[in-house]
Amino acid sequence: MTQKTPKPAEAAKSKVKTKSPDMTKALKDKLKKKDAEIKLLKQENEKLKEQSLRRLADMENLKKRMNKEKTDFYQYALSDFLTELFTVLDNFERAFEIQGQKGGKGFREGIKMIYKQYQDLLIKYGAKPIDIQGKKFDPRLHQAFITVESEEVDEPEVVEELQKGYTLHNRLLRPALVKVAVPKKSK
């Protein structure tokens, strides 16, 4: 006896016919669960996209605000210092008014007071003059403007300050312009 092998299409039909109604219902339930899961994942995806966009916008706003604050800081950083300098300027103007009047001694004393006020203001903001007298020449703090040979020194030494140098919180702002004694060259 020979058995006929069913064709693939017939085999598929016979499998469908053999499925029970319970199995179909189970598959439909499984499909509904998957559809619900897909819907939930899509909602979560949209929520995450929205959060991401909000964070990007917040970052951009923060960047803009920081740039504005930075610009404002650079623009107005010296305002307190300049306000105090106005006081010194006012005192100079008063001194010039007094100069025309009698009493030259009062003018000189007024200028000395203004000079002291100006020095105090610089020190208040951290600017200090470089002390140079009797010190060895230091190219990090001094700029040699004039050099003179001397038999009295073994190493270059500052003998005269021509222009004050200043530091700001131990950082060089301007080197001191100095006259330096150097050892005499032997012939």
Residue 161 DSSP SS3: strand
pTM equals 0.55
Cα distance between residue 132 and residue 143, in whole Å? 11
Which domain does 58 fall in, by range? Answer: 23-71
Residues 6+ apart with CB under 8 A from 124: 84
Check residue 132 and report its DSSP letter: -
Report how many domains make up the chain.
3
Domain match, 114 and 149 both? no
Please name the helix (run of DSSP H) or strand (run of DSSP E) that holds residue 56, with its range, or none: helix 21-76
Contact by Cβ (8 Å): 143, 172? no
Q: What is the pLDDT of residue 185?
A: 82
In a domain, 13, yes or no: no
Look at residues 177, 186, 187, 172 and name the one whose alpha carbon lies nearest to residue 147: 177
Q: What is the pLDDT of residue 4?
A: 61
Residues 6+ apart with CB under 8 A from 177: 142, 143, 145, 161, 162, 163, 165
Q: What is the pLDDT of residue 15?
A: 53
CATH of the domain at 172: 2.30.22.10
Domain match, 86 and 111 both? yes
Q: What is the pLDDT of residue 78?
A: 79
Domain match, 112 and 157 both? no
- Give average pLDDT by consecutive 10-residue segment, the chain, 187 residues: 58 56 90 95 96 96 95 82 82 76 71 88 88 82 92 89 89 91 82
